[in-house]
Amino acid sequence: MAVPLFDASTPLAPLRGELRAAIDRVVDSGRFILGPEVAAFEEELAAWCGAGHAVGVANGTEALTIALRALGAGPGDEVVVPSFSFYASAEAVPPTGARPVFCDVDPETFVVTPETVRAAVTPRTKAIVAVHLFGNVAPVRAIEAATGLPVVEDAAQAAGSTGPDGRPGGLGALGTFSFYPSKNLGAFGDGGAITTSDAALAERVRTLRFHGSRDKVSYQEVGYNSRLDELQAAILRVQLPHLEAWAGARRAAAAAYDALLPEWAGRPVPTAGASPAWHLYVIRVRAPDALGAALAGRGIEARGYYRAPIHAQPAMAAWAPADGLPGTARAAAEHLAIPISAAITREQVAEVAGAIADARLG
C-alpha cells in the first residue's frame, strides 16, 4: 500500500463547492487587496487563537521579520532562535538589522526550553523566537517568565495545536503563521498572519505591512509590501471552521501510531500539558535514513528534515555558535517524519507501522 507523507487534497474534497463560491465572491466584488475577506479572516483567526488582533501578511517568513520589527529589533540587537527549525525561522532576523543567536532544543520534544533559551540570552537580546516545531507547543509563558523578554511564536506548523495556556498565536507577545499549502491550515498559494493582544503592536504591524504607512499618503518608516490577498483570505475562511476536526484526526492518527509502532521507534513527546495537532509525526531512530529507504521500497514516503541545522548553513556561518548544540545535533541526526494528515486512514497507519517493524532497524 502506497502512503504519501502529506495529503492536503482529500480533506478539501467536500469543501470544493464552498471554495468555488468563495473565489467567485471575490471575483465578483472586484476587491483583491485588503478588502472585506481579509478583514473578516483576521477577526476569525484572532478569535480562534485567543488573541486580540490578527494581521494578514504575504507569507510566514515576512510575518516573522515584521513581528520582530514591531518589537523594535534592529542593528546592535540579538534575537535568540533555535537552530533546529526551517531556515526561515532565523532567515527572518538579519533583515531587521539584528543578528540571530542560536539556541539548543530538547531532542525529545524538538522545541526550545527555558533553559536552552536562557543559555543564549545576553544583554543585547531583544526578543526570542520560539518555534512550535512539528506542531508541538513550546513553553512560551515559562520562557517569558525565565527571561523577562518578549517571545515571538513561530506557529507555522502548529495551527490546531493547544497548550496548557491556550492556542499558539495567543501565547507570546506576537505569533506568526504560514499558510503554505501543506500546512495544517493551508492557502492555495503563499500567505501568512501575525497575531497579538497588544493594540500598539498590532497597529505597528499593520503600518509595516503596507510600506510603513497608516493612510497611504504619509510614510512613517521603511516598511514592506506584504499583504494577504483577498482570494487567499476567502479560501482560508472556508477552511478555518474545519481546523478543529482536522486537528482531531491528526491526533487520532498519532495515537494509533503510538499504539502500533515497535518499541525501538521513539514517539514524538508532547510538551507538558500540550495537545499537538501534529503537522509532522516525527519518530526518533538510530538509522533514520536507512529506515526511510526501507519504507520507500514499500511505497511509503518518509523524510528527514533539517539534517543540517540552520547554524550549519553557509549563509549563517557568521553567526554559528562557537560551542556545539548537542540537543540540536541529536535531533537532526535521529529523526524521521512518517506519513500523517487529516485524511490518513487507520489502515494506512497500520501499513506504515508494520513496515517500520519489518525493517528491524532498532
Residue 317: what residue type? A
CA 195, 198, 202: angle at the middle one, nearest 5? Answer: 55
Exposed, middle or buried, 112 (CB in 10 Å: 0-12/13-18/19+)?
buried
Residue 295: what residue type? L
Identify the structural domains of the chain with CATH numbers, from first to last: 10-241 (3.40.640.10), 243-359 (3.90.1150.10)
Q: Using CA atoms, how far apart are residues 32 and 27, in angstroms rounded to an integer?
A: 8
**Local mean pLDDT, 10-residue blocks, the chain (362 residues):** 94 98 98 97 98 98 98 98 98 98 98 98 98 98 98 98 98 98 97 98 98 93 96 98 98 98 97 98 97 98 97 96 94 98 98 96 73
Cell 490546531 locates to: 160
Give the orientation angle of helix 346-359 with respect to helix 243-260, to 10 degrees. Answer: 30
Q: How far is CA 273 from CA 7, 132, 151, 167, in A?
A: 28, 14, 19, 12
Between the two ends of the chain, the Cα-to-Cα distance in Å is 23
Q: Using CA atoms, how far apart are residues 184 and 152, in angstroms rounded to an integer?
A: 20
Q: Which of 237, 204, 236, 193 is nearest to 96 (CA)?
A: 204
Give the orientation angle of helix 230-239 with respect to helix 16-29, to 10 degrees. Answer: 150
Q: Using CA atoms, how far apart are residues 158 and 333, in angstroms rounded to an integer?
A: 23
Q: Using CA atoms, how far apart are residues 127 and 153, in angstroms rounded to an integer?
A: 11
SS3 79: strand
> DSSP string of 189-237?
S--EEEEES-HHHHHHHHHHHBTTBSSSS-B-S---B---BHHHHHHHH
Burial 164-183 (b: 16+ CB within 10 A, else e): eeebbbbbbbbbbbbbbeeb
Q: Count of CB atoms within 10 A of residue 87's CB?
A: 15
**Would you give the distance in Å from CA 185 to the centre of its chain?**
10
Q: For residue 102, which phi and psi values (nearest 5 degrees)?
A: -85, 135
**Longest C-alpha distance within the chain, in Å?**
66
Beta strand residue intervals within the chain, DSSP E: 53-57, 78-82, 99-103, 125-131, 151-154, 174-178, 192-196, 281-284, 335-338
